[in-house]
Amino acid sequence: MGNKTYFPGANDNASGISFLLSLAKYYAANPQPYTMAFICFAGEEAGLLGSKYFTEHSLLALQKIRFLINVDMVGTGETGITVVNATIHQKEFSLLNQLNDKNKYLKKINSRGKAANSDHYFFTEKNVPAFFIYTTGGINAYHDIYDRPKTLPLTEYQDLFRLFVDFNAALMNK
């Protein structure tokens, strides 16, 4: 489409950045027993460049990370979410499902295996337990001019947020 075409990126990935900032605001007001870090990486579309660099030059000991949760494209959710690395981290995936079943947050949580499709990947390669979570259903705008804020429904944004808070609390108590 040419180098002058504008791709708004509302779902990919303004929704993920918004979600991260919402979580950071929540945890700033509700301190937890463990340190939490919120990181945004650049260069995901160009080959996961930011997260690769971070894992190679980390400001913290990667082995101290209890669990990394990467979010990208969380602006829909009519049919649920997909969790990459669910087959690798089965106990955590089961916990996520138990919390969702109990509270009826999301319609469905889909399991997916290991994939090099977002910023969690290089952490996984360094043996850091990690999930990559994205919502499913709704608009199909992705990597195009139609990924605009006015058409992004944020259908399950609040429910996903509550699930994350519950999941993090459960992880910290294990």
What is the pLDDT at residue 41?
Answer: 96
DSSP 47: T
Phi-psi region of 131 (alpha: psi -120 to 50; beta: other; left: phi over 0): beta
Tell me what percent of the residues of the chain surpass a pLDDT of 90.
Answer: 90
- Binned at pLDDT 50, 70 and 90, residue 133 comes out as very high
Decide if pLDDT at 7 tops 90.
Answer: no
Sorted by where each begins, the domain ranges of the chain are: 10-172
pLDDT at residue 171 above 90? yes
The pLDDT, as a whole number, for residue 12 is: 94
Q: Amino acid identity, residue 102? A: K
| Confidence tier at 156 by pLDDT (50, 70, 90) | very high
First vs last C-alpha separation in the chain? 49
Chosen CATH of 10-172 out of 1.10.3080.10, 3.40.50.80, 3.40.630.10, 3.30.565.10: 3.40.630.10
CA 44 to chain centre: 13
Q: What are the helix (H) ranges across the chain?
A: 16-29, 49-56, 90-103, 121-125, 157-172
Q: What is the largest CA-CA distance in the chain?
A: 51
Mean pLDDT, to the nearest integer, of 97-105?
A: 98
CA distance 174 to 171: 5
Residue 137: closest CA among 104, 166, 173, 108 = 108
Sequence letter at residue 80: G
Kindly report, residue by residue over 114-131, the tens digit of the pLDDT.
999 999 999 999 999 999
Residue 72 has pLDDT above 90, yes or no: yes
pLDDT for residue 2: 76
User: How confident is the model over 58-72, as a mean pLDDT?
Assistant: 96
pTM: 0.95
Under 8 Å between Cβ of 68 and 128:
yes
- The average confidence (pLDDT) of the chain is 95
